[in-house]
Structure 1
Amino acid sequence: MSEQVLVEARGGVLEVTINRPEQRNAMTKAAAQAIAAAMDQLDADADLRCAILSGAGGTFCAGMDLKGFLRGELPVDERGGFGGITTWTPKKPVIAAVDGYALAGGMELAFACDLIVAHEDAKFGIPEVKRGLVAAGGGAVQLPRMLPRPLAMELALTGDPIGARRAHELGLVNRLSRGPALETARELAETLVANGPLAIIATKGIVRDSWLWPVEDINTYQNPYIAHIFTSEDAKEGARAFAEKRKPEWKGE
Protein backbone atom coordinates (compact mmCIF):
# COMPACT_ATOMS: atom_id res chain seq x y z
CA MET A 1 0.00 0.00 0.00
CA SER A 2 1.32 3.45 -0.90
CA GLU A 3 2.36 5.76 1.96
CA GLN A 4 0.12 8.32 0.25
CA VAL A 5 -2.87 6.39 1.58
CA LEU A 6 -3.22 5.03 5.12
CA VAL A 7 -5.45 2.02 5.78
CA GLU A 8 -6.66 0.75 9.15
CA ALA A 9 -9.40 -1.71 10.15
CA ARG A 10 -11.40 -0.70 13.23
CA GLY A 11 -14.36 -2.71 14.48
CA GLY A 12 -15.59 -3.89 11.11
CA VAL A 13 -14.84 -0.56 9.41
CA LEU A 14 -11.95 0.01 7.01
CA GLU A 15 -10.65 3.56 7.45
CA VAL A 16 -8.88 4.82 4.33
CA THR A 17 -7.06 8.16 4.63
CA ILE A 18 -5.52 10.14 1.78
CA ASN A 19 -2.19 11.12 3.30
CA ARG A 20 -0.80 14.08 1.35
CA PRO A 21 -1.72 16.93 3.71
CA GLU A 22 0.99 19.31 2.46
CA GLN A 23 -0.56 19.05 -1.02
CA ARG A 24 -4.12 19.28 0.37
CA ASN A 25 -4.44 15.60 -0.49
CA ALA A 26 -4.33 16.27 -4.23
CA MET A 27 -4.80 12.96 -6.01
CA THR A 28 -1.94 11.08 -7.66
CA LYS A 29 -1.94 7.86 -9.63
CA ALA A 30 -0.28 6.04 -6.71
CA ALA A 31 -2.95 7.27 -4.31
CA ALA A 32 -5.76 6.30 -6.70
CA GLN A 33 -4.35 2.80 -7.05
CA ALA A 34 -3.93 2.50 -3.27
CA ILE A 35 -7.56 3.51 -2.67
CA ALA A 36 -8.69 0.94 -5.26
CA ALA A 37 -6.61 -1.73 -3.49
CA ALA A 38 -8.19 -0.77 -0.15
CA MET A 39 -11.65 -1.20 -1.66
CA ASP A 40 -10.67 -4.67 -2.85
CA GLN A 41 -9.59 -5.41 0.72
CA LEU A 42 -12.99 -4.18 1.94
CA ASP A 43 -14.86 -6.56 -0.33
CA ALA A 44 -12.56 -9.52 0.29
CA ASP A 45 -12.61 -9.44 4.11
CA ALA A 46 -15.83 -10.82 5.59
CA ASP A 47 -15.10 -9.08 8.89
CA LEU A 48 -15.24 -5.66 7.21
CA ARG A 49 -18.73 -4.20 6.72
CA CYS A 50 -18.06 -0.72 5.33
CA ALA A 51 -15.32 1.85 4.71
CA ILE A 52 -14.69 5.49 5.56
CA LEU A 53 -12.68 7.59 3.12
CA SER A 54 -11.13 10.77 4.54
CA GLY A 55 -8.20 13.11 4.08
CA ALA A 56 -5.34 13.89 6.47
CA GLY A 57 -4.58 17.35 7.78
CA GLY A 58 -8.04 18.89 7.68
CA THR A 59 -8.73 18.65 3.95
CA PHE A 60 -10.56 15.90 2.10
CA CYS A 61 -9.12 16.27 -1.40
CA ALA A 62 -8.32 19.33 -3.53
CA GLY A 63 -8.65 17.37 -6.77
CA MET A 64 -6.02 16.28 -9.26
CA ASP A 65 -2.34 16.87 -8.53
CA LEU A 66 -1.72 19.48 -11.23
CA LYS A 67 2.06 19.07 -11.05
CA GLY A 68 1.62 15.41 -11.86
CA PHE A 69 -0.80 16.31 -14.64
CA LEU A 70 1.80 18.60 -16.21
CA ARG A 71 4.22 15.65 -16.14
CA GLY A 72 1.70 13.58 -18.07
CA GLU A 73 0.33 11.62 -15.08
CA LEU A 74 -3.40 11.02 -14.64
CA PRO A 75 -4.55 10.20 -11.08
CA VAL A 76 -6.67 7.25 -12.10
CA ASP A 77 -6.91 3.53 -11.50
CA GLU A 78 -7.54 1.45 -14.61
CA ARG A 79 -10.77 0.01 -13.24
CA GLY A 80 -11.86 2.59 -10.66
CA GLY A 81 -11.11 5.82 -12.49
CA PHE A 82 -10.21 9.02 -10.65
CA GLY A 83 -9.28 8.30 -7.06
CA GLY A 84 -9.85 4.59 -7.55
CA ILE A 85 -13.64 4.58 -7.10
CA THR A 86 -15.34 7.06 -9.45
CA THR A 87 -16.07 4.52 -12.20
CA TRP A 88 -16.39 1.44 -9.97
CA THR A 89 -17.74 0.89 -6.49
CA PRO A 90 -17.18 -1.94 -3.99
CA LYS A 91 -20.19 -4.01 -3.03
CA LYS A 92 -20.01 -2.71 0.55
CA PRO A 93 -20.86 0.87 1.54
CA VAL A 94 -18.29 3.67 1.58
CA ILE A 95 -18.72 6.83 3.66
CA ALA A 96 -16.90 10.04 2.72
CA ALA A 97 -15.74 12.06 5.75
CA VAL A 98 -15.16 15.56 4.38
CA ASP A 99 -13.21 18.25 6.20
CA GLY A 100 -11.94 21.41 4.55
CA TYR A 101 -12.16 21.24 0.77
CA ALA A 102 -13.65 18.66 -1.59
CA LEU A 103 -12.93 20.37 -4.88
CA ALA A 104 -12.80 19.23 -8.51
CA GLY A 105 -11.93 15.54 -8.40
CA GLY A 106 -12.23 15.75 -4.61
CA MET A 107 -15.92 16.53 -4.91
CA GLU A 108 -16.30 13.78 -7.50
CA LEU A 109 -14.54 11.40 -5.13
CA ALA A 110 -16.95 12.29 -2.33
CA PHE A 111 -19.93 11.82 -4.66
CA ALA A 112 -18.60 8.41 -5.66
CA CYS A 113 -19.06 7.30 -2.06
CA ASP A 114 -22.45 6.10 -0.85
CA LEU A 115 -22.85 8.51 2.06
CA ILE A 116 -21.24 11.85 2.88
CA VAL A 117 -20.50 13.32 6.30
CA ALA A 118 -19.07 16.84 6.24
CA HIS A 119 -17.73 19.35 8.72
CA GLU A 120 -20.11 22.30 8.76
CA ASP A 121 -17.35 24.56 7.38
CA ALA A 122 -16.37 22.24 4.51
CA LYS A 123 -16.55 23.42 0.90
CA PHE A 124 -17.63 21.53 -2.21
CA GLY A 125 -17.13 22.52 -5.83
CA ILE A 126 -16.11 21.53 -9.35
CA PRO A 127 -13.97 24.49 -10.51
CA GLU A 128 -12.55 22.71 -13.57
CA VAL A 129 -13.97 25.30 -15.98
CA LYS A 130 -11.88 27.96 -14.25
CA ARG A 131 -8.79 26.04 -15.40
CA GLY A 132 -10.00 25.23 -18.89
CA LEU A 133 -10.88 21.67 -17.90
CA VAL A 134 -14.05 19.58 -17.56
CA ALA A 135 -15.28 17.73 -14.47
CA ALA A 136 -14.91 14.42 -16.29
CA GLY A 137 -14.52 12.27 -13.17
CA GLY A 138 -18.28 12.17 -12.69
CA GLY A 139 -19.12 15.70 -11.57
CA ALA A 140 -20.76 16.89 -14.79
CA VAL A 141 -22.69 13.62 -15.01
CA GLN A 142 -23.69 13.11 -11.37
CA LEU A 143 -24.74 16.64 -10.42
CA PRO A 144 -27.82 16.74 -12.73
CA ARG A 145 -28.84 13.36 -11.35
CA MET A 146 -28.62 14.67 -7.78
CA LEU A 147 -29.95 18.21 -8.22
CA PRO A 148 -32.46 20.12 -10.35
CA ARG A 149 -30.76 20.83 -13.66
CA PRO A 150 -30.51 24.64 -13.24
CA LEU A 151 -28.68 24.22 -9.93
CA ALA A 152 -26.39 21.56 -11.38
CA MET A 153 -25.71 23.78 -14.38
CA GLU A 154 -24.82 26.75 -12.17
CA LEU A 155 -22.33 24.77 -10.11
CA ALA A 156 -20.76 23.22 -13.19
CA LEU A 157 -20.56 26.37 -15.33
CA THR A 158 -19.49 28.89 -12.68
CA GLY A 159 -17.10 26.56 -10.90
CA ASP A 160 -17.97 28.36 -7.66
CA PRO A 161 -17.97 26.31 -4.44
CA ILE A 162 -20.82 25.86 -1.98
CA GLY A 163 -20.60 25.36 1.77
CA ALA A 164 -21.46 22.14 3.55
CA ARG A 165 -24.60 23.65 5.06
CA ARG A 166 -25.95 24.51 1.61
CA ALA A 167 -24.90 21.08 0.31
CA HIS A 168 -26.80 19.52 3.21
CA GLU A 169 -29.90 21.59 2.41
CA LEU A 170 -29.72 20.37 -1.19
CA GLY A 171 -29.46 16.74 -0.10
CA LEU A 172 -25.87 16.29 -1.25
CA VAL A 173 -24.58 15.69 2.30
CA ASN A 174 -26.11 13.22 4.76
CA ARG A 175 -24.82 14.60 8.05
CA LEU A 176 -23.02 17.70 9.28
CA SER A 177 -20.35 17.62 11.94
CA ARG A 178 -19.13 20.36 14.28
CA GLY A 179 -15.99 18.41 15.07
CA PRO A 180 -13.80 16.35 12.73
CA ALA A 181 -15.99 14.70 10.12
CA LEU A 182 -14.31 11.36 10.80
CA GLU A 183 -15.87 11.21 14.27
CA THR A 184 -19.40 11.60 12.93
CA ALA A 185 -18.61 9.21 10.07
CA ARG A 186 -17.58 6.60 12.63
CA GLU A 187 -20.93 6.98 14.36
CA LEU A 188 -22.72 6.47 11.06
CA ALA A 189 -20.50 3.46 10.28
CA GLU A 190 -21.43 1.88 13.61
CA THR A 191 -25.07 2.01 12.54
CA LEU A 192 -24.26 0.24 9.28
CA VAL A 193 -22.10 -2.40 10.98
CA ALA A 194 -25.01 -3.28 13.29
CA ASN A 195 -27.17 -4.27 10.32
CA GLY A 196 -27.22 -7.53 8.37
CA PRO A 197 -24.16 -7.65 6.10
CA LEU A 198 -25.83 -9.54 3.26
CA ALA A 199 -28.82 -7.20 3.39
CA ILE A 200 -26.53 -4.14 3.34
CA ILE A 201 -24.73 -5.39 0.22
CA ALA A 202 -27.96 -6.25 -1.60
CA THR A 203 -29.59 -2.96 -0.66
CA LYS A 204 -26.61 -0.88 -1.79
CA GLY A 205 -26.64 -2.70 -5.12
CA ILE A 206 -30.34 -2.05 -5.66
CA VAL A 207 -30.15 1.63 -4.72
CA ARG A 208 -27.09 2.14 -6.94
CA ASP A 209 -28.38 0.28 -9.98
CA SER A 210 -32.17 0.60 -9.99
CA TRP A 211 -32.38 4.06 -11.56
CA LEU A 212 -31.58 2.35 -14.88
CA TRP A 213 -34.35 -0.25 -14.57
CA PRO A 214 -37.56 0.01 -16.62
CA VAL A 215 -40.52 0.36 -14.24
CA GLU A 216 -42.31 -2.65 -15.71
CA ASP A 217 -39.26 -4.86 -15.14
CA ILE A 218 -38.24 -3.77 -11.62
CA ASN A 219 -39.00 -7.12 -9.99
CA THR A 220 -37.16 -9.02 -12.69
CA TYR A 221 -34.06 -6.90 -12.25
CA GLN A 222 -34.25 -6.86 -8.46
CA ASN A 223 -34.63 -10.61 -7.95
CA PRO A 224 -30.94 -11.54 -8.47
CA TYR A 225 -29.98 -9.08 -5.72
CA ILE A 226 -32.38 -10.51 -3.14
CA ALA A 227 -32.94 -14.16 -4.09
CA HIS A 228 -30.51 -15.43 -1.47
CA ILE A 229 -31.44 -12.96 1.25
CA PHE A 230 -34.75 -14.36 2.46
CA THR A 231 -33.40 -17.92 2.76
CA SER A 232 -30.16 -16.87 4.47
CA GLU A 233 -29.13 -17.72 8.02
CA ASP A 234 -28.88 -14.00 8.70
CA ALA A 235 -32.56 -13.50 7.82
CA LYS A 236 -33.53 -16.23 10.28
CA GLU A 237 -31.21 -14.78 12.91
CA GLY A 238 -32.71 -11.33 12.42
CA ALA A 239 -36.21 -12.69 13.02
CA ARG A 240 -35.11 -14.69 16.07
CA ALA A 241 -33.25 -11.74 17.57
CA PHE A 242 -36.30 -9.51 17.14
CA ALA A 243 -38.57 -12.10 18.80
CA GLU A 244 -36.08 -12.63 21.64
CA LYS A 245 -35.47 -8.88 22.09
CA ARG A 246 -31.70 -9.08 21.64
CA LYS A 247 -29.07 -7.91 19.21
CA PRO A 248 -28.61 -10.21 16.22
CA GLU A 249 -25.36 -12.11 15.76
CA TRP A 250 -24.70 -11.92 12.04
CA LYS A 251 -22.74 -14.61 10.20
CA GLY A 252 -22.90 -13.21 6.70
CA GLU A 253 -24.46 -16.46 5.54
Structure 2
Amino acid sequence: MSQLMLLKLAVIFLTRIPIKLNGDVNEDDINLSSRYFAAVGFCIGLCLASALWLLSLCLPMGVAILFTIGLGLIITGAFHEDGFADVWDGFGGGWSQQQKLDIMKDSRIGTYGGTALIILMLSKYQLLLALSVDMSVLLFSIVLAHALSRMAATSIIGKLPYVQLDAQSKVKPVAKSLTPTSRVVLYATGFAVASMGFYLADFSIWHLIGLGVCLWLTRWVCQQWFSHQLGGYTGDCLGAAQQICEIAILTFCVVSLL
Protein backbone atom coordinates (compact mmCIF):
# COMPACT_ATOMS: atom_id res chain seq x y z
CA MET A 1 0.00 0.00 0.00
CA SER A 2 1.07 3.59 -0.62
CA GLN A 3 1.50 5.88 2.38
CA LEU A 4 -1.72 7.70 1.50
CA MET A 5 -3.60 4.41 1.46
CA LEU A 6 -2.10 3.47 4.82
CA LEU A 7 -3.26 6.81 6.22
CA LYS A 8 -6.76 6.17 4.88
CA LEU A 9 -6.70 2.71 6.46
CA ALA A 10 -5.71 4.27 9.80
CA VAL A 11 -8.68 6.65 9.55
CA ILE A 12 -11.02 3.75 8.75
CA PHE A 13 -9.59 1.72 11.62
CA LEU A 14 -9.93 4.43 14.28
CA THR A 15 -13.04 6.32 13.20
CA ARG A 16 -16.49 5.99 11.65
CA ILE A 17 -15.63 8.44 8.88
CA PRO A 18 -16.79 6.85 5.59
CA ILE A 19 -13.71 6.47 3.39
CA LYS A 20 -13.52 4.12 0.44
CA LEU A 21 -10.42 1.95 0.22
CA ASN A 22 -9.79 0.06 -2.99
CA GLY A 23 -8.27 -3.41 -2.86
CA ASP A 24 -7.88 -6.04 -0.17
CA VAL A 25 -6.42 -5.34 3.27
CA ASN A 26 -4.17 -7.84 5.03
CA GLU A 27 -2.55 -8.01 8.45
CA ASP A 28 0.68 -6.39 7.24
CA ASP A 29 -1.28 -3.39 5.98
CA ILE A 30 -2.94 -2.97 9.37
CA ASN A 31 0.41 -3.21 11.13
CA LEU A 32 1.92 -0.56 8.83
CA SER A 33 -1.07 1.77 9.11
CA SER A 34 -0.51 2.02 12.87
CA ARG A 35 2.33 4.50 12.18
CA TYR A 36 -0.39 7.05 11.39
CA PHE A 37 -2.55 6.51 14.48
CA ALA A 38 -1.13 9.62 16.16
CA ALA A 39 -1.78 11.62 12.98
CA VAL A 40 -5.39 10.45 12.97
CA GLY A 41 -5.62 11.42 16.63
CA PHE A 42 -4.34 14.88 15.71
CA CYS A 43 -7.08 15.22 13.07
CA ILE A 44 -9.75 14.06 15.53
CA GLY A 45 -8.48 16.50 18.14
CA LEU A 46 -8.45 19.32 15.60
CA CYS A 47 -12.06 18.60 14.62
CA LEU A 48 -13.18 18.51 18.25
CA ALA A 49 -11.26 21.67 19.17
CA SER A 50 -12.85 23.49 16.23
CA ALA A 51 -16.30 22.22 17.19
CA LEU A 52 -15.82 23.31 20.80
CA TRP A 53 -14.74 26.78 19.75
CA LEU A 54 -17.81 27.17 17.52
CA LEU A 55 -20.18 25.79 20.16
CA SER A 56 -18.72 28.08 22.84
CA LEU A 57 -19.79 31.09 20.76
CA CYS A 58 -23.47 30.35 21.33
CA LEU A 59 -23.63 27.98 24.33
CA PRO A 60 -22.41 27.99 27.93
CA MET A 61 -18.94 26.45 28.14
CA GLY A 62 -20.10 23.45 30.18
CA VAL A 63 -22.73 22.56 27.58
CA ALA A 64 -20.27 23.11 24.72
CA ILE A 65 -17.77 20.75 26.36
CA LEU A 66 -20.45 18.11 26.91
CA PHE A 67 -21.56 18.27 23.28
CA THR A 68 -17.92 18.10 22.13
CA ILE A 69 -17.32 14.94 24.15
CA GLY A 70 -20.44 13.46 22.55
CA LEU A 71 -19.20 14.42 19.09
CA GLY A 72 -15.94 12.62 19.81
CA LEU A 73 -17.88 9.46 20.62
CA ILE A 74 -19.78 9.74 17.35
CA ILE A 75 -16.62 10.27 15.27
CA THR A 76 -14.79 7.29 16.80
CA GLY A 77 -17.80 5.08 17.45
CA ALA A 78 -16.71 4.96 21.12
CA PHE A 79 -14.01 2.58 19.85
CA HIS A 80 -11.51 3.17 22.65
CA GLU A 81 -14.14 3.64 25.35
CA ASP A 82 -15.51 0.19 24.53
CA GLY A 83 -12.06 -1.33 25.06
CA PHE A 84 -11.66 0.62 28.31
CA ALA A 85 -14.93 -0.76 29.69
CA ASP A 86 -14.13 -4.31 28.54
CA VAL A 87 -10.74 -4.23 30.26
CA TRP A 88 -12.25 -3.15 33.59
CA ASP A 89 -14.97 -5.80 33.32
CA GLY A 90 -12.48 -8.53 32.41
CA PHE A 91 -9.78 -7.66 34.91
CA GLY A 92 -12.30 -7.02 37.67
CA GLY A 93 -14.55 -10.02 37.11
CA GLY A 94 -12.20 -12.78 35.92
CA TRP A 95 -9.71 -14.91 37.80
CA SER A 96 -7.86 -16.84 35.09
CA GLN A 97 -6.55 -15.46 31.82
CA GLN A 98 -9.22 -17.30 29.88
CA GLN A 99 -12.00 -16.02 32.14
CA LYS A 100 -10.81 -12.45 31.70
CA LEU A 101 -10.65 -12.79 27.92
CA ASP A 102 -14.11 -14.38 27.79
CA ILE A 103 -15.58 -11.49 29.80
CA MET A 104 -13.80 -8.94 27.61
CA LYS A 105 -15.31 -10.49 24.48
CA ASP A 106 -18.84 -10.35 25.92
CA SER A 107 -20.86 -7.57 24.28
CA ARG A 108 -22.68 -6.87 27.53
CA ILE A 109 -21.28 -4.35 29.98
CA GLY A 110 -20.85 -5.15 33.66
CA THR A 111 -20.60 -3.21 36.90
CA TYR A 112 -16.85 -2.66 36.67
CA GLY A 113 -17.02 -1.41 33.09
CA GLY A 114 -20.09 0.77 33.66
CA THR A 115 -18.63 2.40 36.75
CA ALA A 116 -15.28 2.94 35.04
CA LEU A 117 -16.98 4.63 32.07
CA ILE A 118 -18.90 7.00 34.35
CA ILE A 119 -15.68 8.01 36.11
CA LEU A 120 -13.92 8.35 32.75
CA MET A 121 -16.55 10.65 31.24
CA LEU A 122 -16.82 12.77 34.39
CA SER A 123 -13.03 13.09 34.52
CA LYS A 124 -12.88 14.30 30.91
CA TYR A 125 -15.66 16.81 31.51
CA GLN A 126 -14.17 18.23 34.69
CA LEU A 127 -10.64 18.45 33.28
CA LEU A 128 -11.81 20.23 30.13
CA LEU A 129 -13.97 22.55 32.21
CA ALA A 130 -10.96 23.41 34.36
CA LEU A 131 -8.92 24.16 31.23
CA SER A 132 -11.65 26.43 29.85
CA VAL A 133 -10.33 29.41 31.87
CA ASP A 134 -7.88 29.84 28.98
CA MET A 135 -9.42 29.08 25.57
CA SER A 136 -6.09 28.68 23.74
CA VAL A 137 -4.85 26.21 26.36
CA LEU A 138 -8.16 24.32 26.25
CA LEU A 139 -8.14 23.92 22.47
CA PHE A 140 -4.47 22.93 22.35
CA SER A 141 -4.96 20.42 25.19
CA ILE A 142 -7.73 18.67 23.24
CA VAL A 143 -5.53 18.28 20.17
CA LEU A 144 -2.55 17.23 22.29
CA ALA A 145 -4.51 14.65 24.27
CA HIS A 146 -6.02 12.95 21.23
CA ALA A 147 -2.75 12.78 19.29
CA LEU A 148 -0.34 11.79 22.06
CA SER A 149 -2.68 9.32 23.76
CA ARG A 150 -2.90 7.35 20.52
CA MET A 151 0.85 7.60 20.08
CA ALA A 152 1.46 6.21 23.58
CA ALA A 153 -1.11 3.43 23.26
CA THR A 154 0.15 2.36 19.83
CA SER A 155 3.74 2.31 21.09
CA ILE A 156 2.79 -0.57 23.44
CA ILE A 157 2.67 -2.78 20.34
CA GLY A 158 5.92 -4.71 20.30
CA LYS A 159 6.63 -3.96 23.95
CA LEU A 160 4.31 -6.75 25.06
CA PRO A 161 3.31 -10.01 23.35
CA TYR A 162 -0.08 -10.22 21.70
CA VAL A 163 -2.30 -12.63 23.64
CA GLN A 164 -3.03 -15.42 21.19
CA LEU A 165 -6.03 -16.61 23.19
CA ASP A 166 -7.69 -13.41 21.99
CA ALA A 167 -7.76 -14.73 18.44
CA GLN A 168 -11.56 -14.56 18.28
CA SER A 169 -11.83 -11.08 19.83
CA LYS A 170 -14.74 -8.96 18.63
CA VAL A 171 -12.36 -6.03 18.11
CA LYS A 172 -10.35 -7.78 15.41
CA PRO A 173 -8.33 -6.87 13.49
CA VAL A 174 -5.57 -5.71 15.81
CA ALA A 175 -2.11 -4.40 14.99
CA LYS A 176 0.40 -6.91 16.32
CA SER A 177 3.75 -5.44 15.28
CA LEU A 178 5.37 -2.04 14.83
CA THR A 179 8.34 -1.73 12.49
CA PRO A 180 11.26 0.58 13.44
CA THR A 181 10.22 2.97 10.67
CA SER A 182 6.63 3.01 11.89
CA ARG A 183 7.80 3.71 15.43
CA VAL A 184 9.90 6.65 14.21
CA VAL A 185 6.94 8.09 12.26
CA LEU A 186 4.66 7.60 15.27
CA TYR A 187 7.02 9.34 17.71
CA ALA A 188 7.88 12.10 15.23
CA THR A 189 4.20 12.89 14.81
CA GLY A 190 3.71 13.06 18.58
CA PHE A 191 6.76 15.29 19.01
CA ALA A 192 5.58 17.63 16.25
CA VAL A 193 2.17 18.01 17.88
CA ALA A 194 3.69 18.58 21.32
CA SER A 195 6.04 21.19 19.86
CA MET A 196 3.02 23.24 18.84
CA GLY A 197 2.69 24.05 22.52
CA PHE A 198 5.62 26.46 22.25
CA TYR A 199 3.44 28.66 20.05
CA LEU A 200 -0.09 27.93 21.28
CA ALA A 201 0.10 27.32 25.03
CA ASP A 202 3.28 28.93 26.40
CA PHE A 203 5.10 25.60 26.53
CA SER A 204 8.67 25.60 27.81
CA ILE A 205 11.28 22.90 27.36
CA TRP A 206 10.44 21.76 30.89
CA HIS A 207 6.80 21.32 29.92
CA LEU A 208 7.91 19.15 27.01
CA ILE A 209 10.16 17.05 29.25
CA GLY A 210 7.48 16.78 31.93
CA LEU A 211 4.90 15.67 29.38
CA GLY A 212 7.28 13.04 28.06
CA VAL A 213 7.91 11.69 31.57
CA CYS A 214 4.17 11.70 32.31
CA LEU A 215 3.40 9.71 29.16
CA TRP A 216 6.26 7.27 29.71
CA LEU A 217 5.14 6.57 33.29
CA THR A 218 1.50 6.16 32.26
CA ARG A 219 2.43 3.77 29.49
CA TRP A 220 4.72 1.84 31.84
CA VAL A 221 1.91 1.46 34.39
CA CYS A 222 -0.43 0.23 31.66
CA GLN A 223 2.15 -2.26 30.42
CA GLN A 224 2.70 -3.63 33.93
CA TRP A 225 -1.06 -3.89 34.47
CA PHE A 226 -1.69 -5.74 31.20
CA SER A 227 1.30 -8.02 31.71
CA HIS A 228 0.20 -8.91 35.25
CA GLN A 229 -3.40 -9.57 34.23
CA LEU A 230 -2.98 -11.25 30.82
CA GLY A 231 0.72 -11.73 30.18
CA GLY A 232 0.40 -9.43 27.16
CA TYR A 233 -2.07 -7.15 25.41
CA THR A 234 -5.25 -7.32 23.34
CA GLY A 235 -7.04 -4.74 21.21
CA ASP A 236 -9.16 -3.84 24.22
CA CYS A 237 -5.99 -3.16 26.21
CA LEU A 238 -4.78 -0.68 23.59
CA GLY A 239 -8.13 1.10 23.74
CA ALA A 240 -7.93 1.27 27.53
CA ALA A 241 -4.35 2.59 27.36
CA GLN A 242 -5.45 5.34 24.96
CA GLN A 243 -8.19 6.50 27.32
CA ILE A 244 -5.93 6.39 30.37
CA CYS A 245 -3.20 8.33 28.54
CA GLU A 246 -5.76 10.90 27.39
CA ILE A 247 -6.80 11.53 30.99
CA ALA A 248 -3.13 11.70 32.06
CA ILE A 249 -2.36 14.33 29.39
CA LEU A 250 -5.37 16.49 30.28
CA THR A 251 -4.42 16.24 33.96
CA PHE A 252 -0.86 17.29 33.11
CA CYS A 253 -2.18 20.29 31.21
CA VAL A 254 -4.39 21.33 34.14
CA VAL A 255 -1.52 21.07 36.61
CA SER A 256 1.23 22.63 34.49
CA LEU A 257 -0.46 25.16 32.18
CA LEU A 258 -2.97 26.88 34.48
**Please, what TM-score do these two structures have when normalized by structure 2?**
0.31
Structure number with higher strand proportion: 1
**Please, what TM-score do these two structures have when normalized by structure 1?**
0.31
> Which has the bigger relative contact order, CA under 8 A and spacing at least 6?
2
The structure with the largest alpha-carbon Rg is 1
